[in-house]
């Protein structure tokens, strides 16, 4: 036998205008097990709350029903009220007689009748409700940031400054990411290295950041607040504890490979640091191009190293860490433009992609900042920059890559400055939405860059026109004058689409994330929660979520740090109480629950031969309960009996 | 006397229930024959709920959940979609008019759609008349 | 007098309803015009045609006959706009009311009256066969659908004969359609006369179904594309080159006579390549012929340059300097080839016409792959 109290809120006139509230309370009193029913103007106000609390005590209520606005509005509020009066918060039911009753009809009769049915349903259910106790678990205070680009660096620094310990894991031998490859950044034309290297150095100096370069995440176990991570520290054949960064080893090394950092424009040594300002300043040996590993001879680096830091016996090692939250800031790749045969990348040496040009501009790059062609000597007198190569394109990537218009404008400016050549900009639209961006565009127009509105159709080296001999011809329609135009240039620069990292899907699987249809990590909500994911405790920042520029990446890095803090700043975490539990006696061992749960909460216990639900992972959705053929799973607060009882009450009137 | 159908709606907390609230916030008006049970996810729905609803005298049963792909819990509604499709076939096989059971994917921002679906469904149930196939008469 | 124009949305609506609603997707980037082979040689501007259609502006009539439906623009369009559908819709809306160019009036007239575009007598459709080749009857495996062009055009009749001879030698069970067969209707559909197309289609489907044909070979890629995409049936339709390549591969037919080290270059017909995805079969045939050195032009496969014959182009006279087939012959000559091979009767007609008008007959010959193959088979 329950002792139920029903409280009907007027909500001023919002409910009372259409629902006859006192009649409703009167009706409630007639229902079995209802010992008290009140109506009041504003239940959520202090006197309203006190009314409920007094009645709980006075009438020894063990169930409370509040007929008011939507539970999505005030369920949390009223749960506290009830809890403070000594009653378990899960013994409360909210009946929605506003958003789904008084506000959607003009008829008093209809509204009141429906409200009666709704209260009846709630009473039937209330009888079967059970008190639930929230559980608390300890939270690990450390955070792991995966990806040492600008977004990851920013997140790591913010967290470290709050006193939290951060593991910054980067697969390359240096942090810095793509931003470290750039020369100048738009729209300020700040030197990229000048603004980035202080941050990189800050990472190195910060005692709260453990920098793990040349490392990759191997395995992720656990759950929010308590992740167990296994990290693979790739063999670098140099003992970084002994190495002092003198780089003598790199001078004599005979091994050669194509430089990834310089986008294949030059070669690098087998023992190398990617660029002079690399952090940490400690070289690694690339096994595939090392003469010793390939032929068993050489070992020059070992000979010249005064610290005896070379160690050819080194193996991959593993590091196990525990963290409370994870931030993924793994960045992007540029699309390979070779398959777009119409643009001739890879076929004509005069065709470049954006990152190659960045390396040419960069004073620490393969040409020391001079813009020369692949022969290392020839200066281009005329350059065409082609926008939207692979972006905004159903045949490749349907989205706009957001940064290419701006960096293409930047290129135009730098090309004008460094070559004094003719610069053509072939575009569909100019997208300049950021702060100072439109002004930057204006500046470029005034610098006599030739803007042609039309997407480039083709690049060829063949022409009937003798004036075009030796040049690359860009074919495009100038849509503003409806003319087919052929432009002879020395150099063509492609602005390729920014796409997810080639292994983004593998990463997503590792961290239990979804990816969107293009392969970017999926955020919880594109507008209201762009940095969190459906996996509690794992956050994303930067271009791995979607293409974006440096200011946005930095903002997201800081934002993700704040999100991660909401988890690790607490000592303990409250777990969802309305979770599912398996009745082992009924479990038939079919594994269906294990297979369907999106959160991996049910785990099969092979010793007992039944499923068990990890309450820390369970979100209470109820999928397992509905899937279980043996009806062995009970979802607390939404049991079969409770739901069907509510239905019975609703259908009675 | 005009027949007024009793309609049970089972709505998922994150999308349809929120969408229904939105219909209220925007003061849309729709027939009030519908009584709503809130569940956390459409995947919670056991086919026996639907059958029970008809036994209890529902003239029509409406289920609302997030659009496939948008489930708050990731994949819940995908299972729901299949399960409820089979449920509909079972109902038909058991002699129930399948038109009395309708599944709609209504997101939290689709208040108008909720109102429209309820309006339509109520009209359909009115036309079909009282459900007697499964209803258990208390006497 | 105001020069201001106002969007004429009823026209845009009419075009959309005629099947051109794809213009809603176009964001006017100009890739189509940049890609279109006609852009460097004529004033035809496909993007502009799209734009005028979007708003119903004047000027559509001046542009709508320039397209030869080669599909290069469609393949490159970043929005996936069905550009050829727009061209067809625009022509359909305008084609009534006397807006057909004179050469196309004769073309449509001939199709209406005689069921073929060459003013040929319908009962004489199979005369080229001289009773040497079987007619298709129920129970035979392959129905060889000879294109009107190979039946009536004197140059292309040689292709009909060569291909039929190959089929005879292959030992396959096959037959020609009767003289009640009419034009597949591909070109007239692209010219915009959907009603006439449906009539021709109904006639042909009737024949095919009555004879219960399950496998159809076509010599023209235009018939191939139309049967596969517009006739909506479930029988197998293949191009002659696909069949021949398979026969060579299985060893049923083996070319023996050495061609003597001749340099041959292959022109990918738009309707065989871009429209139907067949690029390798004709090349496999050429490579199988001993003594043939296959050299490739620059614009091959998906980037092949249209000969200008599609979309009604075969019947439209173009001024010198505005002919794509002239450019194609130049490109073929630049490879050093003395034979330009192809696999489409329209391409043969267009390319041979260019060879003649360019006085290049002693420099290069245009041949169908079946003709080259047959020459090598006898020996």
Q: Collapse the DSSP code of C119 into the 3-class scheme (helix H, G, I; strand E, B; otherwise coil) and give the result.
A: coil
| Contact between B21 and A72 using a beta-carbon 8 Å cutoff | yes
DSSP class of residue C315? G
CA distance C43 to chain A (A): 8
Provide the pLDDT for residue A574.
83
Residue C285 has which token pair? 């045939």
Q: What kind and span of H or E run contains A48?
A: helix A46-58
Residue B25 touches chain A, beta carbons under 8 Å: yes
Specify whether the CB–CB gap between C366 and C342 falls below 8 A.
yes
CA distance B9 to chain A (A): 10
Closest partner CB to B40 (pick from A105, A598, A638): A638
Query: What CA dihedral angle connects A330, A332, A338 and A339, to 10 degrees?
Result: 100
Provide the pLDDT for residue C282.
98
| Contact between B17 and A72 using a beta-carbon 8 Å cutoff | yes
Region A606-615 average pLDDT: 93
Specify whether the CB–CB gap between C16 and C23 falls below 8 A.
yes
**Alpha carbon distance, N-terminus to C-terminus of chain B:** 23
Helices (H), A420-468: 437-446
Residue A329 has which token pair? 């800031």
- The 10s digit of each residue's pLDDT in B44-68 is 999 999 999 999 999 999 999 988 8
**Above 90 in pLDDT, residue C98?**
no
In this structure, the strands spanning A491-496 and A351-353 are: parallel
CA distance B34 to chain A (A): 8
Provide the pLDDT for residue B139.
64
Transcribe B12-38 into DSSP letters: ETTTHHHHHHHHHHTT----TTEEEEE
Q: Residue B109: exposed, middle, or buried by beta-carbon count in 10 A (0-12, 13-18, 19+)? A: exposed
Q: For an interface test with C, give the residue of A343, A477, A481 to mutate (most C CBs within 10 A).
A: A477
Residue B57 touches chain A, beta carbons under 8 Å: yes
When mean pLDDT is compared across A81-95, A385-399, B58-72, the lowest value belongs to B58-72
| Contact between C33 and A479 using a beta-carbon 8 Å cutoff | yes
Q: For an interface test with A, give the residue of C25, C26, C32, C33 to mutate (most A CBs within 10 A).
A: C33
User: Rounded to whole angstroms, how far apart are CA atoms A472 and C276?
Assistant: 32
Provide the pLDDT for residue B15.
85
Q: Indicate the average pLDDT of chain C.
A: 94
Residue C196 has which token pair? 């006439």
Residue with tokens 């470049």: A352
Specify whether the CB–CB gap between A612 and A602 falls below 8 A.
yes
Provide the pLDDT for residue A140.
97
* Residue (of A623, A621, A620, A619) closest to A537 by Cα position: A619
Specify whether the CB–CB gap between A282 and A298 falls below 8 A.
no
Region C338-342 average pLDDT: 97
| Contact between B24 and A100 using a beta-carbon 8 Å cutoff | yes
Residue A455 touches chain C, beta carbons under 8 Å: yes
- The 10s digit of each residue's pLDDT in A535-558 is 889 999 999 999 999 999 999 999
| Contact between A476 and C30 using a beta-carbon 8 Å cutoff | yes
CA distance A566 to chain B (A): 21
A 10 A CB-CB count for C89 gives 25
| Chain B residues inside the 8 Å CB shell of A625 | 44, 46
In this structure, the strands spanning A610-613 and A602-605 are: antiparallel
Residue B42 touches chain A, beta carbons under 8 Å: no
**Above 80 in pLDDT, residue C379?**
no
Residue C172 has which token pair? 């396959």
Task: State CA A504 to chain mean position distance.
Answer: 11
Transcribe B68-115 into DSSP letters: TT-BTTBSHHHHHHHHHHHHHHHHHHTT--GGGEEEEE--TT-HHHHH
User: Rounded to whole angstroms, how far apart are CA atoms B90 and B93?
Assistant: 5
| Chain A residues inside the 8 Å CB shell of C30 | 428, 453-455, 457, 476-479
Region A346-374 average pLDDT: 96
Percent of chain A with pLDDT over 90: 90
Residue C23 has which token pair? 């213009």
User: Rounded to whole angstroms, how far apart are CA atoms A602 and A614?
Assistant: 6
| Chain C residues inside the 8 Å CB shell of A475 | 34, 40
Q: How confident is the model at residue A515 (pLDDT cuts 50, 70, 90)?
A: confident
| Contact between B23 and A104 using a beta-carbon 8 Å cutoff | yes
| Contact between C29 and A394 using a beta-carbon 8 Å cutoff | no
Specify whether the CB–CB gap between C44 and C36 falls below 8 A.
yes
**Above 80 in pLDDT, residue C99?**
no
Which chain C residue lies closest to A391 (C-alpha atoms)?
Answer: C78
**Above 60 in pLDDT, residue A243?**
yes
CA distance C278 to chain A (A): 19
Q: Are chains B and C in contact at 3+ CB pairs closer than 8 Å?
A: no
Partner C, chain A 456-515, Cβ-Cβ below 8 Å: 456-458, 462, 475-479, 482, 484, 486
Specify whether the CB–CB gap between A543 and A553 falls below 8 A.
yes
Which chain A residue lies closest to C49 (C-alpha atoms)?
Answer: A482
Specify whether the CB–CB gap between C302 and C273 falls below 8 A.
yes
Closest partner CB to A462 (pick from C29, C35, C298): C298
Compute the count of residue pairs across chains A and C with CB atoms less than 8 Å apart. Answer: 69
Residue with tokens 């005069």: A350
- Cα distances (angstroms) measured from residue A173 to each of A237, A282, A306, A382, C237: 12, 8, 22, 37, 57
CA distance C46 to chain A (A): 10
Largest Cα separation within chain B, whole Å, is 46
Specify whether the CB–CB gap between A362 and A410 falls below 8 A.
no
Q: For an interface test with C, give the residue of A479, A483, A496 to mutate (most C CBs within 10 A).
A: A479
Specify whether the CB–CB gap between A140 and A227 falls below 8 A.
yes
| Contact between A455 and C47 using a beta-carbon 8 Å cutoff | no
Compute the count of residue pairs across chains A and B with CB atoms less than 8 Å apart. Answer: 125
**Alpha carbon distance, N-terminus to C-terminus of chain A:** 22
* Residue (of C114, C129, C135, C236) closest to C178 by Cα position: C135
Q: For an interface test with A, give the residue of B13, B74, B116 to mutate (most A CBs within 10 A).
A: B74
Q: How confident is the model at residue A527 (pLDDT cuts 50, 70, 90)?
A: confident
| Chain A residues inside the 8 Å CB shell of C81 | none
Residue C338 touches chain A, beta carbons under 8 Å: no
User: Rounded to whole angstroms, how far apart are CA atoms C342 and C354?
Assistant: 14
Residue A420 has which token pair? 């004094």
| Chain A residues inside the 8 Å CB shell of C80 | 394-395
| Chain A residues inside the 8 Å CB shell of B6 | 651
Which partners does chain C have (≥3 C-beta pairs < 8 Å)? A
Residue C33 touches chain A, beta carbons under 8 Å: yes
| Chain A residues inside the 8 Å CB shell of B29 | 104-106
Residue A395 touches chain C, beta carbons under 8 Å: yes
Q: Which residues are within 8 A (CB) of C356 and not within 5 positions of it... i.e. 6 or more apart?
A: none
Region A28-35 average pLDDT: 96
Provide the pLDDT for residue C97.
55
User: Rounded to whole angstroms, how far apart are CA atoms C235 and A579?
Assistant: 57
DSSP class of residue C19? I
Residue A601, φ and ψ in degrees, nearest 5: -75, -45
| Contact between A103 and B18 using a beta-carbon 8 Å cutoff | no
Strands (E), chain C: 142-145, 174-175, 215-218, 236-239, 262-266, 292-295, 339-342, 365-368
Q: Are chains A and B in contact at 3+ CB pairs closer than 8 Å?
A: yes
Region A375-387 average pLDDT: 96
Region A471-490 average pLDDT: 96
Q: What angle do CA A274, A276, A281 make, to 5 degrees?
A: 80
| Contact between B73 and A619 using a beta-carbon 8 Å cutoff | yes
Entry pTM = 0.81
- The 10s digit of each residue's pLDDT in C149-192 is 999 999 999 999 999 999 999 999 999 999 999 999 999 999 99
Transcribe C138-153 into DSSP letters: TT-SEEEE--HHHHH-
- The 10s digit of each residue's pLDDT in B69-124 is 777 787 889 999 999 999 999 999 999 999 999 999 998 778 899 999 999 999 99
Which chain A residue lies closest to C45 (C-alpha atoms)?
Answer: A482
* Residue (of B4, B106, B87) closest to B49 by Cα position: B87
Transcribe A553-600 into DSSP letters: HHHHHHHHHHHHHHHHTSSEEEPPSS-EEE-TTT-----HHHHH-TT-
Residue C200 has which token pair? 């021709």
Residue B38 touches chain A, beta carbons under 8 Å: yes
| Contact between A477 and C76 using a beta-carbon 8 Å cutoff | no
A422-427: strand order across its sheet: A351-353, A491-496, A382-389, A422-427, A450-453
Q: Which residues are within 8 A (CB) of C48 and not within 5 positions of it... i.e. 6 or more apart?
A: A482, C33, C59, C63
* Complex prediction ipTM: 0.96
| Chain C residues inside the 8 Å CB shell of A392 | 27, 29, 78
| Contact between A104 and B83 using a beta-carbon 8 Å cutoff | no
Provide the pLDDT for residue A135.
84
Specify whether the CB–CB gap between A181 and A356 falls below 8 A.
no
Q: What angle do CA A614, A616, A618 make, to 5 degrees?
A: 70
Provide the pLDDT for residue C1.
77
- Cα distances (angstroms) measured from residue A129 to each of A62, A337, A642: 10, 61, 7
Residue C199 has which token pair? 């009539």
Specify whether the CB–CB gap between A205 and A198 falls below 8 A.
no
- The 10s digit of each residue's pLDDT in A567-600 is 999 999 888 799 999 999 999 999 999 999 988 8
Q: What kind and span of H or E run contains A424?
A: strand A422-427
Q: Indicate the average pLDDT of chain A.
A: 95
Percent of chain A with pLDDT over 70: 100
Phi-psi region of C318 (alpha: psi -120 to 50; beta: other; left: phi over 0): beta
Provide the pLDDT for residue B73.
82
Q: Which residues are within 8 A (CB) of B11 and not within 5 positions of it... i.e. 6 or more apart?
A: B17, B20, B36, B37, B38, B39, B63, B64, B65
């Amino acid at each position: 036998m329950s002792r139920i109290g029903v409280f009907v809120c007027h909500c001023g006139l919002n409910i009372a205008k259409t629902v006859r509230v006192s009649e409703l309370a009167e009706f409630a009193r007639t229902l079995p097990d209802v010992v008290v029913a009140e109506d009041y103007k504003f239940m959520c106000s202090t006197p309203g709350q006190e009314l409920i609390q007094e009645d709980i005590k006075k009438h020894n209520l063990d169930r409370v029903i509040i007929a008011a606005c939507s539970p999505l509005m005030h369920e949390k509020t009223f749960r506290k009220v009830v809890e403070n009066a000594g009653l378990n918060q899960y013994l409360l039911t909210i009946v929605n007689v506003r958003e789904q009753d008084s506000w959607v009809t003009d008829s008093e009769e209809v509204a009141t009748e429906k409200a009666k049915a709704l209260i009846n349903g709630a009473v039937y259910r209330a009888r079967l409700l059970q008190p639930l106790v929230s559980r608390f678990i300890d939270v690990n205070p450390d955070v792991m940031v995966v990806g040492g680009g600008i977004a990851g660096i920013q997140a790591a620094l913010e967290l470290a400054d709050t006193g939290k310990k951060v593991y910054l894991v980067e697969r390359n031998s240096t942090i810095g990411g793509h931003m470290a490859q750039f020369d100048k950044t738009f729209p300020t034309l700040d030197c990229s290295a000048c603004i980035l290297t202080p941050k990189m150095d800050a990472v190195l100096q910060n005692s709260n950041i453990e920098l793990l370069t040349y490392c990759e995440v191997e395995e992720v176990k656990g759950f929010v607040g308590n992740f167990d991570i296994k990290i693979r520290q790739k063999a670098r054949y140099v003992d970084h504890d002994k190495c002092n960064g003198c780089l003598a080893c790199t001078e004599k090394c005979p091994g050669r490979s194509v430089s990834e950092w310089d986008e294949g424009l030059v070669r690098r040594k087998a023992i190398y640091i990617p660029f002079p300002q690399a952090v940490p300043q400690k070289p690694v040996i690339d096994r595939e191009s090392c003469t010793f590993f390939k032929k068993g001879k050489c070992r020059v680096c070992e000979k010249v190293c005064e610290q005896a830091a070379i160690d050819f016996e080194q193996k991959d090692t593993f590091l196990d860490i525990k963290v409370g939250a994870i931030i993924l800031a793994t960045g992007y790749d540029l699309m390979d433009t070779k398959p777009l045969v119409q643009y001739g990348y890879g076929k004509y040496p005069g065709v470049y992609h954006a990152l190659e040009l960045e390396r040419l501009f960069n004073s620490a790059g393969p040409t020391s900042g001079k813009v020369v062609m692949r022969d290392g000597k020839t200066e281009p007198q005329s350059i065409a920059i082609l926008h939207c190569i692979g972006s905004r394109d159903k045949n490749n990537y349907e989205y706009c890559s957001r940064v290419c218009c701006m960096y293409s404008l930047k290129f135009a400016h730098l090309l004008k400055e460094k070559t004094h050549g003719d610069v053509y900009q072939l575009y569909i639209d100019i997208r300049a939405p950021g702060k100072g961006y439109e002004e930057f565009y204006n500046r470029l127009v005034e610098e006599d860059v030739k803007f042609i509105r039309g997407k480039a159709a083709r690049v060829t080296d063949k022409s009937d026109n003798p004036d075009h001999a030796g040049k690359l011809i860009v074919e495009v329609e100038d849509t503003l004058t409806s003319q087919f135009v052929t432009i002879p240039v020395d150099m063509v620069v492609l602005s390729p689409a920014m796409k997810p990292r080639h292994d983004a899907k593998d990463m997503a699987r590792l961290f239990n994330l979804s990816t969107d249809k293009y392969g970017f990590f999926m955020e919880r909500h594109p507008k209201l929660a762009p940095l969190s994911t459906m996996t509690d405790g794992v956050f994303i920042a930067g271009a791995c979520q979607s293409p974006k520029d440096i200011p946005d990446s930095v903002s997201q890095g800081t934002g993700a740090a704040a999100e991660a803090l909401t988890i690790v700043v607490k000592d303990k975490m409250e777990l969802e109480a309305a979770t599912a539990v398996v009745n082992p006696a009924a479990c038939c061992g079919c594994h269906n629950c294990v297979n369907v749960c999106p959160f991996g909460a049910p785990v099969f216990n092979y010793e007992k031969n039944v499923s068990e639900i990890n309450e820390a992972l369970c979100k209470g959705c109820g999928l397992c309960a509905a899937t279980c053929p043996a009806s062995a799973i009970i979802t607390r607060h939404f049991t079969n009996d409770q739901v069907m009882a509510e239905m019975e009450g609703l259908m009675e009137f | 006397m005009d027949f007024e159908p009793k309609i049970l709606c089972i709505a998922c907390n994150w999308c349809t229930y929120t969408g229904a609230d939105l219909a209220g916030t925007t003061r849309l008006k729709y027939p009030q024959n519908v009584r709503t049970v809130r569940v956390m996810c459409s995947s919670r729905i056991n086919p026996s709920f639907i059958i029970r609803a008809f036994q209890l005298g529902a003239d029509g049963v409406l289920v609302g959940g997030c659009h496939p792909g948008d489930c708050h819990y990731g994949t819940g509604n995908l299972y729901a979609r299949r399960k409820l499709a089979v449920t509909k076939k079972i109902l038909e096989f058991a002699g129930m008019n399948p038109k009395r059971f309708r599944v709609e994917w209504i997101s939290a921002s689709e208040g108008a759609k909720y109102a429209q679906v309820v309006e339509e469904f109520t009209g359909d149930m009115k036309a079909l008349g009282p459900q007697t196939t499964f209803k258990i008469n208390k006497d | 007098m105001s020069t201001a124009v106002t969007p004429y949305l009823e026209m845009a609506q009419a075009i959309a309803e005629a099947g051109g609603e794809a213009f809603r997707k176009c964001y006017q980037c100009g890739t189509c015009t940049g890609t279109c082979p006609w852009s460097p040689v004529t004033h035809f501007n496909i993007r502009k045609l799209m734009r005028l259609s979007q708003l119903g502006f004047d000027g559509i009539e001046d542009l709508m006959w320039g397209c030869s439906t080669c599909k290069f623009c469609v393949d490159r369009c970043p929005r996936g706009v069905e550009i050829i559908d727009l061209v067809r819709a625009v022509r359909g809306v305008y084609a009534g009311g006397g807006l057909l160019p004179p050469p196309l009036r004769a073309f449509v007239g001939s199709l209406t009256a005689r069921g073929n575009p060459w003013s040929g007598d319908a009962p004489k459709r199979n005369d080229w066969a001289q009773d040497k080749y079987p007619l298709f009857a129920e129970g035979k495996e392959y129905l060889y659908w000879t294109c009107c062009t190979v039946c009536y055009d004197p140059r292309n009749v040689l292709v009909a004969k060569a291909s039929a001879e190959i089929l005879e030698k292959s030992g396959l069970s096959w037959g020609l359609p009767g003289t009640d067969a009419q034009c597949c209707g591909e070109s007239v559909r692209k010219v915009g006369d959907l009603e006439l197309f449906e009539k021709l289609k109904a006639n042909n489907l009737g024949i095919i179904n009555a004879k219960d044909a399950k496998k159809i070979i076509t010599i023209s890629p235009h018939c191939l594309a139309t049967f596969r995409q517009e006739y909506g049936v479930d029988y197998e339709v293949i191009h002659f080159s696909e069949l021949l390549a398979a026969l060579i591969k299985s060893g049923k037919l083996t070319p023996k006579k050495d061609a003597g080290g001749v340099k041959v270059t292959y022109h990918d017909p738009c309707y065989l390549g871009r429209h139907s995805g067949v690029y390798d079969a004709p090349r496999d045939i050429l490579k199988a012929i001993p003594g043939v050195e296959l050299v490739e032009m620059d614009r091959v496969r998906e980037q092949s340059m249209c000969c200008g014959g599609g979309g009604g182009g075969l019947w439209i006279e173009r001024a010198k300097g505005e002919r794509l087939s002239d450019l194609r012959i130049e490109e073929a000559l630049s490879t050093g080839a003395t034979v330009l091979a192809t696999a489409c009767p329209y391409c043969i007609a267009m390319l041979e016409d260019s060879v003649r008008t360019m006085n290049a007959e002693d420099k290069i010959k245009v041949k169908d792959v079946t003709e080259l193959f047959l020459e090598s088979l006898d020996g």
